[in-house]
Amino acid sequence: MTLSETLIPTYRQMLKGLASWLEKASEQVDDRDALMAARLAPDMFPLSTQIRFACLQAHEGGHRLSHQDFPEALDILLEEGRNGGENPGSMTDALKRIDEAVTALDAFVADDMDKAADQPLALELPMGLAFDLDGKTYARDWALPQFYFHITMAYAILRQQGVELGKADYVAHMFGYLRQPADA
pLDDT of residue 48: 96
Q: List the CATH number of the domain containing 157.
A: 1.20.120.450
The answer to whether position 182 is within a domain reads no
pLDDT, averaged in runs of 10, over the chain (184 residues): 96 98 95 91 96 96 91 90 90 96 93 94 90 96 97 98 96 91 68
CA within 13 Å, CB half, 99: 7
Which run of H or of E encompasses 53?
Answer: helix 47-65
Total domain count, the chain: 1
On the 0-12 / 13-18 / 19+ scale of CB atoms within 10 A, 132 is: exposed
pLDDT of residue 31: 87
The answer to whether position 144 is within a domain reads yes
**pTM of the full structure:** 0.93
Range(s) of the domain holding residue 49: 3-177
